[in-house]
Structure 1
Amino acid sequence: MTIKVGNQAPDFELRATNGESVRLADFRGKNVVLYFYPKDMTPGCTTQACDFRDYHQSFTELDCMIIGISPDPQEKHEKFIEKYNLPFTLLVDEEHKAAELYEVWKLKKNFGKEYMGIERSTFVIDKEGKLVKEWRKVKVKGHVEEALQYVKENLA
C-alpha cells in the first residue's frame, strides 16, 4: 500500500506510554497531527517535541490531537515525556511497523555510515481518517508553526 495525500491514512496499532494498545482509528472524529521522529532525548527530536508541547493548547483548540512515534522503547518514551512535560501521546514502534506503512523507515547515511532509521516526517489526518497533508525530511525550525497554520487554515 502506497501512502498518498487524499487517501485514507494507513491504520496501525501500537503501544502507548501508558502500556495501552492504541490504533489510529481510535482518533476518528478528531484531526490528528502524526509525527515520526528518530530518537528520544536527541537535540532535534527534543526541540521538535518541545515545540509541539508549546503549541499543544493551540492544536487542542482546533480539535487536533498530536501523536509522536519513534522506535524507542516504552521506558525511554516515559522518561522523555516526564523530563520535558510532554502533554501528548508517544507511541512505541520498535519493529517500525507504522514507520514502514508511512514510508518513513529509510536508509540513512551519517558520517559515511549507512543504517536504517526514521526520516523525520509529519502527517495531518482529518476527522474522517483521510491523509490531507504530509511533510517529509522535516527541518525542525519553524515546522510546528507551519503544521499549526495548515490545520488552522484547512481543518478549523
Structure 2
Amino acid sequence: MNDEERHYNHEEFAAAAPTPVNPGETMPAKVGVLAPDFEASTLDGTVVRLSDFRGKRHVVIMTGAVTSPMCAFEVPAFNQLHQEFASRDVSFFLLYTRESHPAENYPSHSSWEQKLAHARDLQQLENVRFPILVDSLDGKIHRSYGTWPNALFVIHKDGRLIFRSNMANDREFRQFLDDLTAAERAAAEGRVLHLQYSERIVLHEADQATHRRVYERAGPKAFEDYWAKRPQNRNRWP
C-alpha cells in the first residue's frame, strides 16, 4: 500500500468531532455542475463508466460498506426504490468505499481483493439488489464526491450533479425521485416548469438496533473504537 491508500483506509472509527456546522462544505462534488466522471467495476467484473449513461439515464450513487450501520439501515428501502424507478430511466449503484467501523472481522482494507471480498459479503448479508461498484483502494471516487460513510448523489442524464446528501434518507429521496420523473413527463408534454434549488440541515435519530447488529458483525473493536470517541455512550449505546 502507498501512503495515500493507508491514509484513506483508517484503522479505527474516525468520528467527525465536532460534526461540521455545514456538512456540505466537506463534499467536493457540487450541485449544478458536471459530476466528477468515474470508472469502476461491479462484483462480477463489469466495468461501469459514468459517461456511458450520458443522455440515457439518471444515476444514483449511495456509498456504503459492510461495517456501515447507516448503509445497512437504508438498503431495504433503496432496494424498493431501485425496483420502482428502474423503468423510469434511473440506475442505482452502491459504491463500496472504506470500512466505517473496521474491526476484527472486517479490518481496514490492505488490498483491492480484500475490499472486493468485503463488498461481496455486504451484498449477501444485506441482500443488496442493485449493483455494487467497488472503489479503488485509495477511494478515488469517494474522495472526489465526499467521504461520508453513507452519502447519496444523483447525476442527471445530462451529466450534472443534481442531488447530494451526506446521509441517505429514503423518505426524502423518494420525494426527490418523484419530482424528477414527474418533471420529465411534464417537459415531454410541453408544460411550463420552474427551477427549484434547496438546502437544508436536519437531525435524524440513529437506529440503535441496526448499529448494534453491524458492530457485532464487525467485531468487539467496533464497540471499543466508538466508545473511545463517545465515552458518554459506553455500555448504553449501541
Unaligned runs of 5+ in 1: 106-117
Q: Percent identity?
A: 29
1:91 and 2:133 equivalent?
A: yes
Partners of 1:42 and 1:5 lie apart in 2 by 25
TM-score of the superposed pair, with normalisation by structure 1: 0.77
* 1:47-76 deviations in Å (ceiling 9; x for gaps): 112221132212213221111112251222
1:68 and 2:94 equivalent?
A: yes
Contact in 1 for aligned 2:68/2:149 (Cα 8 Å): no
Partners of 2:178 and 2:122 lie apart in 1 by 28
How many pairs were matched up?
137
Post-superposition, which runs of at least 4 consecutive aligned residues in structure 1 deviate over 6 A? none
Offset of 1:88 from its aligned partner? 0.9
Partner of 2:73, secondary structure, is helix
Mark the CA change 1:99 to 1:42 in structure 2 (over 3 Å): closer, same or farther.
closer
Q: Which amino acid aligns with 1:95?
A: D
Residue 165 of structure 2 aligns with which residue? 135
Contact in 2 for aligned 1:32/1:124 (Cα 8 Å): yes
User: Higher strand fraction: Structure 1 or Structure 2?
Assistant: 1
* 1:80-134 deviations in Å (ceiling 9; x for gaps): 22233322111111320001111x23xxxxxxxxxxxx34311111111211111
Partners of 2:93 and 2:37 lie apart in 1 by 13
Partners of 1:31 and 1:60 lie apart in 2 by 10
User: Higher helix fraction: Structure 1 or Structure 2?
Assistant: 2
> Radius of gyration: which is bigger?
2
Residue 14 of structure 2 aligns with which residue? none
Partners of 1:145 and 1:101 lie apart in 2 by 26
1:10 and 2:36 equivalent?
A: yes
